């Protein structure tokens, strides 16, 4: 079945460091891919998305490219801030069920130190 | 505009009691999803509603769980005879329609604690 594998956390970085959070997927068909962020005490918010191969999603300095050849959608940011501390979830929208329900990775906690 | 709202935000209940969780989706969104976020299982799909179509209940963990969506808008998730393993955050999401190009918008969740 479809699945998402995300790197284990927590990830601890100093402010202005480069961030990569790895995400790979297994899917039948052509899923859309998403990164959601959950700030402390808040709900899930869409960070960025890509709906087809080679698409690049970007928002708030974060980027991720839909790589069909490596079945990956790694999240990157060139210079993290303390305010980026949160849990990040990679997800795919399952096209095979007709519902387009999300299949989520386990989440990666990011802590950015000043 | 208004986002997805859920109530209550927190619910503590005794084992064996029934609970009802409510979701108000974004106006005009035809697709509605329920997910569960728990420490052991991560984020998992529970049930999906789309318009007047039959719901997809494939993610419901047991027959103690049920949900309905009235008038294509508000949804209620009911858990009967709650067990301690039901303790989790229950998330509701809605999207304009079901399709890969439509992102889901999540509510703040209901934290359920079964004692």
Rounded to whole angstroms, the Cα distance separating B33 from B46 reads 7
Nearest to A104 among B43, B98, B107 (CB): B43
Query: Mean pLDDT score of chain B, rounded to an integer?
Result: 94
Which residue, among B58, B67, B99, B100, would best test binding to A if mutated, counting the most A CBs under 10 Å from its CB? B100
Task: Map residue A82 onto helix, strand or coil.
Answer: helix
* Secondary structure letter of residue A83 according to DSSP: G
B106 near A CB under 8 A: yes
Rounded to whole angstroms, the Cα distance separating B25 from B30 reads 9
**Whether the predicted pLDDT of B101 surpasses 90:** no
Contact B105 A102 (CB under 8 A): no
Rounded to whole angstroms, the Cα distance separating B20 from A59 reads 36
**Whether the predicted pLDDT of B65 surpasses 70:** yes
Contact B77, B60 (CB under 8 A): no
Nearest to A51 among B56, B93, B100 (CB): B100
Q: Which residue has the higher pLDDT, A114 or A94?
A: A114
Query: Residue A101: closest CA among chain B residues belongs to which residue?
Result: B45
Contact B60, B46 (CB under 8 A): yes
Contact B7, B108 (CB under 8 A): no
Contact A107 B99 (CB under 8 A): no
* Percent of chain B whose pLDDT exceeds 90: 84
Nearest to A31 among B44, B100, B108 (CB): B100
Q: Which residue has the higher pLDDT, B100 or A64?
A: A64
pLDDT for the residue A73: 98
Rounded to whole angstroms, the Cα distance separating B42 from A27 reads 19
**Whether the predicted pLDDT of B40 surpasses 80:** no
Question: Which residues on A lie below 8 Å from B33 (Cβ)?
Answer: 99, 101-102
**Whether the predicted pLDDT of B41 surpasses 90:** no
**Whether the predicted pLDDT of B96 surpasses 70:** yes
What CA–CA distances, in Å, run from B28 to A73, A104, B4?
30, 25, 12
**Whether the predicted pLDDT of B61 surpasses 80:** yes
Contact A102 B31 (CB under 8 A): no
Burial class (CB in 10 A: 0-12, 13-18, 19+), B44: middle
pLDDT for the residue B1: 59
B47 near A CB under 8 A: no
Question: Which residues on B lie below 8 Å from A34 (Cβ)?
Answer: 103
As a whole number, mean pLDDT of residues B59-85 equals: 95
Digit-coded pLDDT (tens) for A13-64? 999 999 999 999 999 888 999 999 999 888 899 999 999 999 999 999 999 9
As a whole number, mean pLDDT of residues B59-65 equals: 96
B96 near A CB under 8 A: no
**Helix spans in chain B (H):** none
pLDDT for the residue A4: 96
Using pLDDT thresholds of 50, 70 and 90, give the confidence band for residue B16: very high
Contact A57, A49 (CB under 8 A): yes
pLDDT for the residue A29: 82
**Whether the predicted pLDDT of B70 surpasses 90:** no
């Amino acid at each position: 079945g479809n699945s998402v594998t995300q790197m284990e956390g927590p990830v601890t970085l100093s402010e202005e460091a480069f961030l990569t959070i790895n995400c790979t997927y297994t899917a039948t068909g052509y899923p859309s891919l998403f990164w959601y962020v959950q700030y402390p005490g808040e709900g899930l918010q869409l960070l960025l998305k890509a709906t087809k191969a080679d698409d690049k999603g970007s928002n708030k300095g974060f980027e991720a490219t839909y790589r069909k050849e490596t079945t990956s959608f790694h999240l990157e940011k060139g210079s993290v801030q303390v305010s980026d501390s949160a849990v990040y979830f990679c997800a795919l929208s399952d096209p095979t069920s007709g519902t387009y329900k999300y299949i989520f990775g386990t989440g990666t906690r990011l802590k950015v130190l000043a | 505009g208004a986002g997805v709202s859920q109530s209550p935000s927190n619910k503590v209940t005794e084992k064996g009691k029934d609970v009802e969780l409510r979701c108000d989706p974004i106006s005009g969104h035809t697709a509605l999803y329920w997910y569960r976020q728990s420490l052991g299982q991560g984020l998992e799909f529970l049930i999906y509603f789309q318009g007047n179509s039959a719901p997809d209940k494939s993610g419901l963990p047991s027959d103690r769980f049920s949900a309905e969506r009235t008038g294509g808008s508000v949804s209620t998730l009911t858990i009967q005879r709650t067990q301690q393993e039901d303790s989790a955050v229950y998330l509701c999401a809605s999207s304009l329609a079901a399709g890969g190009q439509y992102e889901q918008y999540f509510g703040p969740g209901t934290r359920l604690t079964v004692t």
